[in-house]
Structure formats: C-alpha cells, structure tokens
C-alpha cells in the first residue's frame, strides 16, 4: 500500500469512530415497547418559537427524516368542521389536520420500519374528533393500528417487531381496551362519552403546560387557596367513541404518584410528566421512577416557560428509563446533539433497547447510587490532530486557534469534560497529541461528545463543530471523528484524528 493509499484508508468509512455494526438494526426488537428508548419530539408542527412562530408541515417531515418515532399533534376545532393544528392560545399559525396526516403518511417509514406513535393533544369537540378519526382511518389505511394482534386481549405491550410499519395513536380513551374490542365492527359515529379528570396543580400548569388561557390561570389563583380547593378542582372531558376506539396500545393516563400507578395503572396506559415535576421525582425517588418506567411508557415534555422552544437535557430522564423524552427538534444545540448522538445507535431506527437494569422489574438501579455488580469502563482518548477544521466566522483567513473539548454525559457521577491545549493560528492541520482518561461507571447510558472550538479570548470560545455518539458505539484504535455544524449538517472533510481505547474495570 502506498502512503497515499494508506491516508485514503485512514480517512475512509472503515476507520470512522462509529461502529459499522451499529449502523444497522442489531438489537433484539422482540421486547415490549416499554423496554425501549424511543426518539420523540415535542410540538412537532412548530419550526420556530412557541408564541408567534409558524406551524409548518415541514416540522413533521423533518422530524421523521431524523428518525423520530413519536410526533405530537395539537388538535383544535377549525372552521368548516375541519380540525386545525397549532399551539393553542398563542399566535402561532394554523395548519390543517388533514394535511398533517397526509405528510405523516408519506414520510412515516422512509427512515425507520418500526412503529410510529402519534401523540394527540386533543382539544376538539366530539364532532371534530370524529373528523379526526375519519382522516386517520382513511388516509393511513392499513398502517393504522385499530385493534390488537388477532383481536385478542393481550397481557403486555407488543414489540417494535410486531408493529413494523404500523402507526399507533396515543390519546385519552373512554373505558378499557376490553370494551373497545367488544365494540369492534360496530359504527360508533355520533356517540360520545364523558369522564372527569383532576386538573393539574397550579405549579404544573404554570411551569409545564401553557395550553390554557392566561386569564384562566389567574382565575385559578384567585378562586381559592389551600389544599381543600385543589382537591375539588375537576374538569370534564368529552371524547367521541370513534376516536377513543383508535387508542389501542397507548391510552394517556394522568400521573398521580408512583404508588397509585403500581396499584391501578394498566399495561397499555402511559403518563406524560412535565420536566419540572419529572426532575423532582428523578432526584427524590430515582429508583421508584426506574421501577415505574420498567412497567409503563412515560413521556417527558418541556415546561411551558420555554417560549423560545429551548430544550432541557434529555440525559437526566434517560437515566431513569423514560421512553419518550420529547424535545423541540427545530432547536439546535447541545440537547439535540445528545438526542441525535444517542439515536445514531441501532441503525438510526429510533428505538434503542434499554439496558437490562432499566428493564428488570426487581431492579434496584438508581443513577445516583451503584451496586457492586455494576461494571464500569476505563476510557482513554488520545487527540492526535485535526483536518481542515471549519473556519471561524470571525476569521477571514482560517487562522482560528482551535481546541478540543471531550464531554461525557451519563449518570451524574459520569458527567465530566476535559479540554485540550490551544493550537495557535492553524485550523488546517492542528496537532495536539494529548491523552485524556475517564472512568465511566455506567457505560451503557454514557454519550461522548467531541467539540471543536476557536479560542477568541481567555474567557470566550466560538463553536466550530461537534460529534456525539454512545460510548459503547465507539470503535477502538486509530479513528476519524467527522464533525457536524450547529444545525447537525456534515462539515466534511473537517474531522479529528484520534486513538480510542477502553476496557471494563475489575
């Protein structure tokens, strides 16, 4: 092999840092749905902020092309008996529900064969709910899950493999799954049911869910104070039977407590918890949270004060086994880098099998404490050099002063970062030749992020590029690290040349 041939080999796909075998689906896809992390988006119809930004069909197409497997659709009554999708009680623009489903039908399985979950946030009247049900059945056709496998009452959720090329509706539901199966084949148009649900606390409403008028929020504070009033506050919900009967494996159920769920929650019921409440629960009752997510699908969504569509760190909720950690896909940055990096694994299918200790019903796992049988990893990364790094936006001559930051994201004890030295005035072929070591206690949950920055001053750096991937998806040996822009676009041929080695600690 000539020296030029050797260089070509070292910069080829064969020498990339991401394992080739992880670029296809290699995990066991026959476990129940609740045993997987599922790529999930929040307010998918928005492509900007949450107050005055546009709603656009591209939000759905873009998320699906990024491997997302759970889309959110906020449904409201529209003119002419045509439901619309937008962020309620705001000035965001409106798009037709029918066109949303048409776009979803077109893009649903272009990137992944595995089930797509449509999370409906339904505010429509029963009359327009029936229109929603009709569009779902007529446009999605055989893709839509309208009954259980073999029309028999199951005892656990089906697997991603069993639901390949299927679309699952997640929404509130009247009654039980048994009652739905008993009604199969009967036309339920014109029928509706009502049930009462306890309203969220003031804190939950203000921090987590903005989808109610500000005046109503204020009235809630004025009407009374103290626990006696809070207990009495109930709201009535009307649901069309035709829409309710399309909810098979993903009935939305209000989360009250882990104890209440253990006693009363059914396997096909799931919870949505705002990030503020979920963060408290994850810190105060970590193992109970893990045991809850072993049994039930749990969705986390951003708090309502994130009007600019910013994101929380998803890692803290993956650490306790939450399956649907919903992010604003339209907002780039560290949080979406972690989302993209995590779901590179398993062929970009949008489904990643959770580690055994997040699936075992008798698990004692907590991200804050480790048992003696948990095996950590000793990781060594040598940053050797860079190749054609992107120029600084503040530099016309590519005379950037680059440095590399290696960040580890995982359980709290594994969170760390280390910096290389700065190479002055050379972004074309900087050389560092520096070695960094990390002891990672829970490698199955750890993500490694390489960030290249330009040192502008002693106190500020400019982002040039990054690449994030799961620790256990890293190839060992001499490897190329491709770099991505802030928006997640390839910066080829920009890359880092590194050496990776890791082994299990005794």
Q: Is the pLDDT of residue 371 over 90?
A: no
What number is the average pLDDT over the span 147-162? Answer: 95
Handedness of CA 307, 309, 310, 311 (dihedral sign): positive
pLDDT tops 80 at residue 203 = no
Q: Is 204 a residue whose pLDDT tops 50?
A: no
Question: Which one of 22, 42, 56, 292 is the catalytic residue?
Answer: 42
CA distance 424 to 338: 29
pLDDT tens for residues 219-257? 333 333 344 434 557 788 899 999 999 999 999 999 999
Whole-structure pTM value:
0.92
Question: Do 330 and 309 form a contact (C-beta atoms < 8 A)?
Answer: yes
Phi, psi of 65 (to 5 degrees): -70, -15
Alpha carbon of 391 to those of 419, 433, 485: distances in Å?
20, 21, 12
User: How confident is the model at residue 222, as a pLDDT?
Assistant: 35
**98-112, 212-226, 269-283, 335-349: lowest mean pLDDT where?**
212-226
Cα(296)–Cα(326) distance, integer angstroms:
16
- The 3-state DSSP class for residue 236 equals strand
Question: Which residues, listed in sequence order, are joined to residue 298 by a DSSP beta bridge?
Answer: 271
pLDDT per residue over 127-153, tens digit each?
A: 999 999 999 999 999 999 999 988 999
150 is catalytic: no
Q: What is the mean pLDDT of residues 172-187?
A: 93
31 is catalytic: no
User: Which listed residue (22, 31, 56, 87) is catalytic?
Assistant: 87
Q: What is the rounded distance in angstroms from the CA atom of residue 65 to the CA atom of residue 60?
A: 9
What 8-state DSSP symbol labels residue 183?
T
Token pair of 497 as six digits: 């040349």
- Quote the CA–CA distance of 85 and 73 in Å, as a whole number: 7
- Sign of the torsion angle spanned by Cα atoms 197, 202, 206, 208: negative
For residue 270 the two structure tokens come to 């799931």
Burial class (CB in 10 A: 0-12, 13-18, 19+), 299: buried
Dihedral through CA 219, CA 225, CA 227, CA 229, nearest 10? Answer: -50
d(CA 480, CA 431): 14
Collect contacts of 177-186 with beta carbons under 8 A, ≥24 apart. 177/148, 177/153, 177/248, 177/251, 177/266, 177/268, 178/153, 180/244, 180/245, 180/247, 180/248, 181/147, 181/148, 181/151, 181/153, 183/241, 183/245, 184/147, 184/151
Average pLDDT of the residues in 305-318: 96
Contact 67, 350 (CB under 8 A): yes
Distance CA 39, CA 216 (A): 33
């Amino acid at each position: 092999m000539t020296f030029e041939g050797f260089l070509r080999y070292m910069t080829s796909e064969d020498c990339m840092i991401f394992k080739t075998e992880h670029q296809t689906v290699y995990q066991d896809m026959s476990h129940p749905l609740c045993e997987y992390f599922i790529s999930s988006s929040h307010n998918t119809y928005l492509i900007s902020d949450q107050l005055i930004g546009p709603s656009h069909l591209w939000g759905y197409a873009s998320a699906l092309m990024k491997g997302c497997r759970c889309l959110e659709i906020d449904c409201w009554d529209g003119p002419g008996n045509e439901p619309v999708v937008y962020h309620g009680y705001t000035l965001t623009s409106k798009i037709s529900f029918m066109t949303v489903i048409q776009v979803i039908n077109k893009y649903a399985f272009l990137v992944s064969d595995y089930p797509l979950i449509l999370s409906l946030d339904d505010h429509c009247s029963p009359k327009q709910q029936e229109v929603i049900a009709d569009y779902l059945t007529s446009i999605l056709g055989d893709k839509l899950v309208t009954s259980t496998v073999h029309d028999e009452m199951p005892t656990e959720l089906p697997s991603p493999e069993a639901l390949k090329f299927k679309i699952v509706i997640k929404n509130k539901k009247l009654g039980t799954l048994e009652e739905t199966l008993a009604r199969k084949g009967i036309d339920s148009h014109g029928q509706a049911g009502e049930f009462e649900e306890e309203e969220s606390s003031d804190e939950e409403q203000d921090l987590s869910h903005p989808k109610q008028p500000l005046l109503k929020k204020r009235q809630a504070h004025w009407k009374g104070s103290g626990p006696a009033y809070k207990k009495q506050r109930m709201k009535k919900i009307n649901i069309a039977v035709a829409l309710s009967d399309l909810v098979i494996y993903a009935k939305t159920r209000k989360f009250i407590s882990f104890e209440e769920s253990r006693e009363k929650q059914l396997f096909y019921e799931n919870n949505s918890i705002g990030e503020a409440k979920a963060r408290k629960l994850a810190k105060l009752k970590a193992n109970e949270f893990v045991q809850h997510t072993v049994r039930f699908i749990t969705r986390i969504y951003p708090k309502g004060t994130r009007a600019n569509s910013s994101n929380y760190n998803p890692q803290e909720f993956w650490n306790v086994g939450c399956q649907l950690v919903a992010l604003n896909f339209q907002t780039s940055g560290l949080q979406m880098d972690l989302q993209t990096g995590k779901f590179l694994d398993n062929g970009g299918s949008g489904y990643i099998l959770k580690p055994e200790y997040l699936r075992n019903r008798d698990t004692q796992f907590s991200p804050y404490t480790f048992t003696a049988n948990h095996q950590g990893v000793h990781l060594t990364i040598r940053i050797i050099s860079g190749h054609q790094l992107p120029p600084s936006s503040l530099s016309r001559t590519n005379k950037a002063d680059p440095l590399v930051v290696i960040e580890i994201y995982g359980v709290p004890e594994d969170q760390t970062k280390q910096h290389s030295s700065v190479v002055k005035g050379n972004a074309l072929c900087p050389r560092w030749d520096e070695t960094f070591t990390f002891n990672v206690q829970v490698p199955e949950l750890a993500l490694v992020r390489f960030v290249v920055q330009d040192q502008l001053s002693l106190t500020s750096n400019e982002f040039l590029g990054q690449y994030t991937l799961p620790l256990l998806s890293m190839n060992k040996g001499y490897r190329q690290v491709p770099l991505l822009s802030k928006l997640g676009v390839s910066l080829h041929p920009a890359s880092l040349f590194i050496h990776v080695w890791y082994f299990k600690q005794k």
